[in-house]
Every structure is written in C-alpha cells, then in structure tokens.
Structure 1
Amino acid sequence: MTTAPVASGASGVAPGPVRPPAIAGAFYAGDAAALRRDVAAMLEAGRAARAAEAPVPKAVIAPHAGHVYSGALAARAYARLEPARERLRRVVLIGPAHRVPFHGIALSGAAAWRTPLGDVPLDQAWARERLAGIAGVAVRDEAHAAEHCLEVHLPFLQATLGDAALVPLLVGRAEPAQVARVLEALWDGPETVLIVSSDLSHFLDYDRCCSRDAGTAAAIEALDSAVIGPHEACGCTPVNGLLSLARARGLRVERLGLCNSGDTAGPRDRVVGYGAWAFHDPDGDRARVPGAAAAAASEPGDAAAAHADPAAGTEALVRAHAAALIRLAAGGLEHGVRHGRAPGLDLDQVPAALRAPGAAFVTLTRAADDRLRGCIGSVEAARPLALDVLAHGYNAGFRDGRFPPVTAEELAGLCVSVSVLTPAVALPVADRTDLLGRMRPGVDGLIIEDRVGGQVRRGLFLPQVWEQLPDPALFLAHLMRKAGLPETHWSASVRVSRFETRGVKATPWAGSGAGSGVGPGVGSGAGSGALKATA
C-alpha cells in the first residue's frame, strides 16, 4: 500500500494510505481513457434497460468477473443507483475473499482505493464506529491487496455515484448470520446503499450452468438463504447474509438480469454464471427518525409529548399498540418454529406508528418459573419498529447462542416480552463512583463501552435486569463482565449511555397448546393471550 494525498468528499475521510489498483489491465482496461469509454458504453445500455419510474434500490447483488464478461450486467445495477447520485453518500461493498484465507470479515486500513479513473475515499470513521464490538471484524489489508471482487466495481461506482465514499468488506470463513449482523449495523438511511459482489456457478457447461443458476435465482427471489452454497455462488455467504436480513426487513426483490460467460465473451463448454438483483425497502424513501419515541410522534396528538418527553412518547406508543407488538413478536417466533425461517411482513397493513423507525428487544421466558429462554434486540432505530419486533421475535427463539432453538412443544409455556427503547443518551461521569451514584435502579438501561488492546468492548443491560441485580454495584459488575471486561474495570476512555424502555408482556399460546396459529398480522383485533402492560 502506498501513501498519497486523498481527495476529500466523504464524512470521516482524511489523507492517508492508498490501496493501488491490483487488476487494472486484466479485469478492466488499464488506460483511463479506454476504461472511461468502456464503462460509459456499458452504462448507456444499462440506462436503456431501466424503466423511467424504476425505484432506487436499497441493496443490489452484482457480478464481479472481468468487464468483458459481466460488466454489462453489473452496469444495469449501477444504472439503477445513478438517479440517487445526489443522495447517496456511501456504498457498503461486500464480497467473498478469493486469494487470502482468513476467519471473519476484513476491513481495509486504507484511506482510499485507486483506479485509473482516480481515488475513491473510504469512510473509515463511520464504518468502524458501527462495527465496533462485532466479533470477527478486523482490518486485514493483506486480504484486500490482490483481491478482484470489490475493485472490479469501482469504475462503475466512480462513473455513477461521483463523490460517494466506500466501505469495502471481504468475507472469509464466516457464517451468514455474522454477515447479516454486519450489514444490519451498516444499514443506515437512504444515503447508504449495500452492494453484494458475487458470481454464480463456476465452470459447468452452458446448459448445466443455466439450470443451476435458474435455481439460485429462484432462491434469491424467494429470499431463501437455505439452499445457496459455494457451488451456486462464490459469494454465497454474503449473499445469504443479505437474504436473511432482507427477509427480516420485508424487502422486495427484483431481477435485473441473468446470463453467463457463454452469452458474453467466452466458450460454452466451461462457463461462469452471473446475476444481478435489486432489493427494495418499502420504507426506503421515508425520512429516518432517530429513536423509538419518534414512532409515537407519527400518531396524531402524540408528537408534542414524544418531543418533550421521549419516555412518555414511547409509553403512549406501547399502550396504544400493545397487542400488535406482542402479535408481531409471537408471529416471528411461531413462523420460525413452523417454517424454519423468519416471516415477511406487508407494512401497508401496519399502523403508521409501527412503520416509523424504532428499536426493540424481544425476551422469551418460561411461564412456569420466569427463566430466560432467549433475548435479542436492537439498540438503534434503523428500520421500521414493526419489522424490528417481528425479526427479533424470530431471533430470540433461534439466534440467541446461549439456548437451543425453540420447539413447537415449548410455545404453550412461553411468555413473550417486547421492550421498546427510547433513544440512548450519553451519561458523562467522572469515575466509577460517580457512575454508581447516578444509576437509577429499575429505570435505566445501560450501555458501557471501552477500548482495550485495540478492540472495543461493549455491553448492554435492559432495565429489566434490575429485577435480578437490584444493587448498582452488582449490576455494574455484571455489565462489565458482559462487555468482556474485568468486573472492577475503569479507565478514562470508558463511555456510558443510558436509555429507558416501555414494554408489554404476554403468554400468546396460553390455553391453546402449541398450535395456536399466532401470525404477524397486526389488525386492531389481534389477540395476544394473557396481556400485561409493563409501560
């Protein structure tokens, strides 16, 4: 990696090291003028294939072979993003590592990546802040140095999105759930787009390639992450991570094209398949509203209360939509039990307050003894509250690594709690003693962060934890332990935030056995079993 000045143009980008091009002259033209002509011609065809009123996607899958093979199809994806040129400020570009084996997901340590068309700045500060504390994510410049799957996209990015900054990520040996977690952390608002770089089947004859790729396309369009493996797509892990997140968020998929190297510039006896898809967020054009309290403001009459008192606004939201919140969480869990995956959701059928961005935790407990059975949630409001609750209903039953998956036989004995979070606010403290004196037992949820040995350690406790740990010193000791820190840890770099929750708890399957058929519908008559408001 060389060091050279980097042009400004993206938040958090500063002069620093530049990753030089590794595949210029091989995967695409090495001469700037020739590259500009090639990309312009491919984009012109891509624009011609774009309908006049085509929406701008939130995410796309696009191929990464040499431009002569798959560039025309990649250009279709970038042509769909181009109308949002003035809005899009950041591109999260993720693909599979082909050359350097490693575990986890690799960030780049560069300040910019270079092509013959110039430098693309990286938004390092933005990405690292959001990915801090996620296991397996680290800077691995050696993995990026000779990799082609991300670089091959840069000329299209430069031609269509101008000054948009780049967040490049390579996936090594990792699970799709880890990729989904990373993408969710980077999801952000309409100013950020996600691009998954992947080719499809490799080195089959033409007819077998067409058959296999048709099956892969069907799985992608059904948001089915269970059937796509390395023989279907070299980027199967990032693709499956996107699919699981897209299903949880209720995204709609549109095929942009499907072809292979036998259709473009190669022989037909040994071909590579390519596909491109657009993923549309139903709330993609909705303004992001920070914090769950703002969701209450979408209901007439609640806006003033939410603005003046976020906790009061969140409480009003939960009381007004308690049954719907329980039905969403229970529906997510039961759909997972019945079908092995998270359900989708038609947001048009959801009350306006639940379509606004919000963050929630879903907690499962055993009704007989109140023992924890699963708990997963979000800290930041990054998607519609209804989708957040639905997704975490599923996640609490199937993605809490502390517990085995929930079974159908368990449903009748489970309680479901939904806790909606108010926005987290910084709590400046002088030292540990000061923090202990300012903690509000039974009221505060706490987030504690510190950087130790170059890694950010982070822990979160919901206010409900006070029921088991009522003493502030004990509460803080366990929170430190959860963050991976010594119980008595303190340093000048410790950061503390606090929030409140307002929630509702119910036994959705009480008295009806395991086959109650609770679904994610949220009409005014949604049943929720024994319902208890805890706001």
Structure 2
Amino acid sequence: MPQIRPAAVAGAFYPGQPYVLAQEVESMLQQAASNPSPASAHPPKALIVPHAGYVYSGPVAAQAYAQLLPWRDQIQRVVLLGPVHRVPVRGIAWPGVEAFATPLGTVPIDRAALAAIADLPQVVQSPAAHAWEHSLEVQLPFLQAVLDRFSLVPLAVGDASAEEVAEVLERLWGGPETLIVVSSDLSHYHPYGEARRLDAESVQTMLELRPVLDHEQACGATPVNGLLLAARRHGLHPHLLDLRNSGDTAGDRSRVVGYAALSFTEPSHVAPGHA
C-alpha cells in the first residue's frame, strides 16, 4: 500500500506547477481578503466550500479560506469530508495512507484521529475511493496556503446517513485546534436563472441548519447534512460568505454549476446581525 496518496488532479482541476499554483491561490485569497465578512473577526469551527476546477469555483472557495488567515497558527487539524464521485463506497472511507501530496508539498494524516473513529461501523478503509477523488484534493492547496502546520483527517463519504456523519464529527470535534471542512457543489447543469433560485433555497436550508438537502441540491448533501446536524447540536452560527455559479465565473449560462461558501462559528463568536 502506498504511504503517500499522490496528487491525482493537479494540472486538471488546478495548476500542476508549484509556483503557478501558489500564485493563483494567493491571488484568489488576496481578492477574498479585500472583501472581509463580518464573520471574519471570529475563528470558524467549520466551512462549506465548493470543489470544481479553480477557474470555476476557486474564487468562491477563497472566500471561505480567507477566514482562516488570522488563525493560521491556531488550527492544527483539519477534518475534511467530501462526496465520492468515481468509486462507490458504503460508509465513510479513510484512504489507508500516511500523507496526501500536492504540488505544494505533503500533508500528514492524523493517525490518532483515525484511531478514535476506527470502531465505528460506518468508518471503512478504501484507498480506491480516494485514489482519483477530487472533492478532497482540491481543498488542500488552499489549506496549505492559509495554515502553518496541520494534520489531515480525509474522509470520502459514500452511502451513509447524516447521523452517521454527525457521529464521526462528534468524535473528532475537538477544540479550537480542529477545523471541519465539508466539500460540496450545489445544483448541476440548470440554466443560470433557475440555478440561482434553486441554490438560494439550498443555502437558506443550510443557514437554518436543516439537514434535509438531497443530492440534486448539493452533490455533497450527505456530509453537508451531517455537518448541519452536528452544528445544530453544538449551537453553531452559520454565515453565508459567497454564492455564485459557473455562469458568474468562467462558464456559459445555459448549463451552470452552483457554488457556495459558508462558515460556522461557535456560540460565543457571533457577528452582529449574523445569528
């Protein structure tokens, strides 16, 4: 079994050359930081971010990742969940490797965190589910850019329930050193106007912490619903940071994909007017 999961979509979903990738991520983060959110004064406990190619969804994802810059030395562990796109899996899969690689370097896997969830029946090992999965990989260059040093708990979510996801999150919740990131796009291939309407409804569901999204509304509906369930139990406060689609960024408007960036803060960290 390989010890390092190599970058699978570098050069496709994002630049494969380290310098070009670093410059592109930095440019998107700088643009996002120039439009600070009221939530940015407080450390996020969780983020929801899109996972398309950077030309399409990168600027939206950057709005979420820019929230982490003031806390780059505080966050030391990232629990990263995303849906499987290529290899079906029953449950929630970890990759069975020691680290993930991107053109910007390697990120170590948090073995202690995996040991803490190993007894849960929904947690399985599946290198195949991770081998070509982009929903997790595309988040890593952003995390590498905004955090100093961190370990990773990469979980590919397949056929599972929101409750099963929430149970895993509960085990890994931790304190301010732990950030949860859920990777999901929104609606797929609707005309621009219809997509705006559908995605606005889906985002409102997230802001109300209602774990009822389906996979037509969000390809990562299962991990998103699990996060919403856990967020409700922990009293987190959601904040919408950005909502756009590929028709706004780099695509035509006849068939678009929706993207949203949200952050969730602890009860003591509520921005005025954003509860």
CA positional deviation for 1:35: 0.5
Q: Give deviations 1:403-441, integer Å, cap 9, x for gaps.
A: xxxxxxxxxxxxxxxxxxxxxxxxxxxxxxxxxxxxxxx
Partner of 1:142: 128
- Mapping for residues 298-447 of structure 1, pairs under 5 Å: none
Partner of 2:250: 265
Write the letter of the residue equivalent to 2:228. L
Are the counterparts in 2 of residues 78 and 160 from structure 1 also a CA contact under 8 Å?
A: yes
Partner of 1:70: 57
Are the counterparts in 2 of residues 94 and 195 from structure 1 also a CA contact under 8 Å?
A: yes
- Mapping for residues 5-404 of structure 1, pairs under 5 Å: 17-51=3-37, 54-124=41-111, 126-226=112-212, 228-283=213-268
Are the counterparts in 2 of residues 104 and 136 from structure 1 also a CA contact under 8 Å?
A: yes
Q: Give deviations 1:243-269, integer Å, cap 9, x for gaps.
A: 111111111110000000000000111
Q: Give deviations 1:192-218, integer Å, cap 9, x for gaps.
A: 000000000001110110010010011
Alpha carbons of 1:283 and 1:110: their partners in 2 closer, same or farther (altered >3 Å)? Answer: farther
Higher relative contact order (CA 8 A, sep 6+): 2
Q: Secondary structure at the match of 1:103?
A: coil
Q: Secondary structure at the match of 1:58?
A: strand
Q: In 1, distance between residues paired with 2:10 and 2:99?
A: 16
Identity across aligned pairs (percent)? Answer: 50
Q: Secondary structure at the match of 1:203?
A: strand
Are the counterparts in 1 of residues 95 and 125 from structure 2 also a CA contact under 8 Å?
A: yes
Q: In 2, distance between residues paired with 1:117 and 1:137?
A: 29
Q: In 1, distance between residues paired with 2:8 and 2:118?
A: 28
Write the letter of the residue equivalent to 2:14. Y
Write the letter of the residue equivalent to 1:148. H
Q: Secondary structure at the match of 1:25?
A: coil
Q: Give deviations 1:144-169, integer Å, cap 9, x for gaps.
A: 00000000011101111021111100
Q: Secondary structure at the match of 1:178?
A: helix
Q: Secondary structure at the match of 2:134?
A: coil
Q: Secondary structure at the match of 1:86?
A: coil
Q: TM-score, normalised by structure 1?
A: 0.49
Q: In 2, distance between residues paired with 1:40 and 1:23?
A: 19
- How many residue pairs get matched? 270
Structure number with greater Rg is 1
Are the counterparts in 1 of residues 186 and 258 from structure 2 also a CA contact under 8 Å?
A: yes
Q: In 1, distance between residues paired with 2:201 and 2:30?
A: 30
Q: In 2, distance between residues paired with 1:39 and 1:223?
A: 30
Are the counterparts in 2 of residues 202 and 231 from structure 1 also a CA contact under 8 Å?
A: yes
Unpaired stretches in structure 1, ≥5 consecutive residues: 3-16, 286-345, 347-535
Q: TM-score, normalised by structure 2?
A: 0.95
Are the counterparts in 1 of residues 73 and 149 from structure 2 also a CA contact under 8 Å?
A: no
CA positional deviation for 1:283: 4.5
Cα RMSD, aligned residues only: 1.5
Q: In 1, distance between residues paired with 2:164 and 2:155?
A: 13
Q: In 2, distance between residues paired with 1:84 and 1:130?
A: 25
Unpaired stretches in structure 2, ≥5 consecutive residues: none
Write the letter of the residue equivalent to 2:216. H
CA positional deviation for 1:278: 0.5
Are the counterparts in 1 of residues 42 and 269 from structure 2 also a CA contact under 8 Å?
A: no
CA positional deviation for 1:284: 6.6
